[in-house]
Amino acid sequence: MVMKTRAIVAVTQPEYEKGRAEFNRAEAEGTICLPAPRDEEGLAATIRSQKARHVICGVELYKGELYEALPRGGVIARFGVGFDSIDLEKAKEHGLLCTNTPGVLDESVAEHTIALMLSAARNLTIHDEGTRSGLWLPKTGIELHGKRLAIIGAGSIGSRVARIAAFGFGMTVIGSEIREIDWEEKRRQYGFQKLVKDFGEAVEDADFVSLHIPSNTSTQHFINIERLNMMTKRSWLINTSRGEIVDESALFDALNEHRIAGAALDVFESEPYSAVDPAKDIRTLPNVIMTPHVASDTAEANQRMAKRALRNIMLAERGEFDQMDLVN
């Protein structure tokens, strides 16, 4: 009897820990998932030494050695949605398939977006820090009910944020979307009051502006001086999308000069965060809320991402490419 060769998958350590239960379950079905370093050199070394055919990875930027280490026909499966850390052209040159996990983290990111908005509205971080320090300095907050929210990017995550905001808090939600989409469905199912293509029209008179657009060459520094100046002085900018879409130096100036009220950020141009310009470190500003890229990091979303990444690899093993979440 000829034993079938098991698929060997190298999984970057942080992602392995997040999806450990699913990766352990996969072994019973013939897939060996091995924890590996997240840095490219260490990851490539593990792939070669363990003869791994596929890899599941996080947001680390991979420039060269990874693509050379994997065999042709192998899969680079992103543990998440964004794939800007993967060089799709290099992957194609080396005969590699690239996938992501669309849809499985939408609820988690939407909830975190709302959490950031509530924190901004009720001064939660300021109150927490002050109270822990022995101070009793209550600062008056605002209700979300009746406030105006501009959602930039009315895709799956943006639409879920709209639904919670409109139906849960009674906010007025304006969407900005350049694609042609079903406006009636968005209004009926998600509570958008209006959908426009122009950013300036969307953020006009907005109390909160939430970003839900992908990172690509056309959205690099999408939030720049000009667009920040279109926002109101009471606006909070919320970003749970990608750090690269915000010009952090321009944002620092807008916050420091109180041209906008504040910013609540889960993603940054450099992660872990370091100031692009040391003289404009947003950590020094009182009107900023920061979390370390955890919007999608829930127990439930992590298991769904692990399962989806493994599914893409198994589909590749079976040659069912048309059913994969291919991004190249």
CATH number for 32: 3.40.50.720
Q: Are the C-beta atoms of residues 240 and 116 closer than 8 Å to each other?
A: yes
Least confident span in 20-29, 238-247, 306-315? 20-29
Which pLDDT score, from 0 to 100, does residue 101 have? 97
Least confident span in 5-14, 197-206, 233-242, 317-326? 5-14
This prediction has a pTM of 0.92
* Banded pLDDT at 5 (limits 50, 70, 90): low
pLDDT of residue 172 exceeding 70:
yes
Number of structural domains, the chain?
2
Q: Quick one: 140 and 250 in the same domain?
A: yes
242 labelled catalytic: yes
Query: One of 68, 185, 271, 300 is an active-site residue; which one?
Result: 271
Q: Quick one: 284 and 159 in the same domain?
A: yes
CA distance 323 to 311: 10
Which pLDDT score, from 0 to 100, does residue 27 have? 87
Q: Quick one: 304 and 174 in the same domain?
A: no
pLDDT of residue 130 exceeding 70:
yes
Q: How does the average pLDDT of the chain come out, rounded?
A: 96
Which pLDDT score, from 0 to 100, does residue 122 have? 98
Q: Quick one: 46 and 178 in the same domain?
A: no
- DSSP for 149-195, written as a single string: EEEE--SHHHHHHHHIIIIIH--EEEEE-SS---HHHHHHHH-EEEE
pLDDT in tens, 136-171: 999 999 999 999 999 999 999 999 999 999 999 999
94 labelled catalytic: no
Q: Quick one: 310 and 274 in the same domain?
A: no
- Of 211, 88, 231, give the one whose Cα is nearest residue 152: 211
Tell me if 233 is assigned to some domain: yes
Q: Quick one: 137 and 253 in the same domain?
A: yes
Domain that holds residue 23: 7-104+298-323
Query: One of 94, 293, 304, 308 is an active-site residue; which one?
Result: 293
Coil, strand, or helix at residue 262?
A: strand
Tell me if 123 is assigned to some domain: yes
CA distance 301 to 295: 10
* Banded pLDDT at 3 (limits 50, 70, 90): very low
318 labelled catalytic: no
Which pLDDT score, from 0 to 100, does residue 30 have? 87
Q: Are the C-beta atoms of residues 61 and 38 closer than 8 Å to each other?
A: no
pLDDT in tens, 284-295: 999 999 999 999
Tell me if 71 is assigned to some domain: yes
211 strand-pairing partners? 152, 239
Tell me if 1 is assigned to some domain: no
pLDDT in tens, 270-313: 999 999 999 999 999 999 999 999 999 999 999 999 999 999 99
Q: Are the C-beta atoms of residues 178 and 123 closer than 8 Å to each other?
A: no
pLDDT of residue 2 exceeding 60:
no
CA distance 113 to 249: 22
Q: Quick one: 73 and 190 in the same domain?
A: no
Q: Quick one: 199 and 237 in the same domain?
A: yes
pLDDT in tens, 212-229: 999 999 999 999 999 999
Query: One of 242, 244, 248, 269 is an active-site residue; which one?
Result: 242
Which pLDDT score, from 0 to 100, does residue 1 have? 33
Q: Quick one: 197 and 211 in the same domain?
A: yes
Tell me if 276 is assigned to some domain: yes
